[in-house]
Structure 1
């Protein structure tokens, strides 16, 4: 009898397959911050919320003046869990109050990073999102087995340099796949 070892996909992109049944994730690209036997957590990185950074800073730190060059940066719908909470996925060091070192990147949830961003002292590369995507133990593994998602190692330039509307196609292309050529019918071989 062979024993299988679980493969975890932390620091990977999840690409929603065309037959994705959950309308919250249709055409989504998710950066997986954590994936373990206990579950998974990620940030949707290609769905704009319609808000910008000024809107968020105005709520979190109303006394801070936000220059237009910072304030017009988009905010993303990070996922359906805790949609009122802000998450900043960023490169660089963790010098803010509530930062989690993800290894390749950092995830910060404290107000102080927003204030620093408004003052031009924030991280060089960042993505601000409201909410996150979360899976209970085994849930993402089941969805992967059901062919709901493709996974590919995350690429820094796709996350921070590719325009949001092109990120999903760019991640798929890194696998050599054109999503427009995939069927929306699911199946198993």
Structure 2
């Protein structure tokens, strides 16, 4: 992608219909820490935030995209469900309410989860057009890559998973 906001981005598409698409960038860290978000939302006070277990304190908040960058989303395994949880696939769900943040901070959250601030969105037909113009490579999301925390190498590892040699990618393409 020529758009710097999406260069080397790995995006998990959560919703796609004839009305448009919505996805989360999963390989870009956000500057804000999870504990800061919990304090800002009143889930914990500052003292409680300091006492969080390492697993929770080190929970990486990711930059999900340029749209509504103050809105949070948690993409997670299907072992955590509330009334506001939306299934994305057979094994993956999306929750955008503070309840899941409370559950994660209390050790009652889903087995696998990632949190983003913001999302990426496309108008009707826009994503299909970008794919047709070779702007994106697509594949099914392997869960081990989806939820792992090695954000720096995620793009290259996903290309390898797809069998794509990045040195053979070109920024322009023709159509036969």
Same fold (TM > 0.5): yes
Superposition pairs for residues 19-30 of structure 1, below 5 Å?
20-30=1-11
Out of 137, 144, 147, the position equivalent to 1:157 is 144
Q: 1:81 — aligned with what?
A: 67
CA deviations on 1:95-131 (whole Å, 9 max, x unpaired) are 3342111123110111111111111111111000001
Q: Distance in 1 between matches of 2:69 and 2:162?
A: 31
* Alpha-carbon distance in structure 2 between the residues aligned to 1:115 and 1:174: 34
Q: Taking structure 2 as the reference length, what is the TM-score of the superposition?
A: 0.89
Mapping for residues 15-94 of structure 1, pairs under 5 Å = 20-64=1-45, 65-66=48-49, 67-69=52-54, 70-94=56-80
1:56-84 per-residue CA deviation (whole Å, 9 max, x = no partner) reads 11111253523051122211000111111
Structure 1 window deviating more from structure 2 (57-66 vs 30-39): it is: 57-66
CA distance in 1, matches of 2:42, 2:139: 37
Q: 1:63 to 1:162 in 2, by over 3 A?
A: closer
Gaps of 5+ in 2: none
Gaps of 5+ in 1: 1-19
Q: Which runs of 4+ in 1 moved over 4 A?
A: none
**Contact in 2 for aligned 1:94/1:100 (Cα 8 Å):** no
Cα contact 2:80–2:110 (8 A) shared by 1: no
Aligned match of 1:177: 164
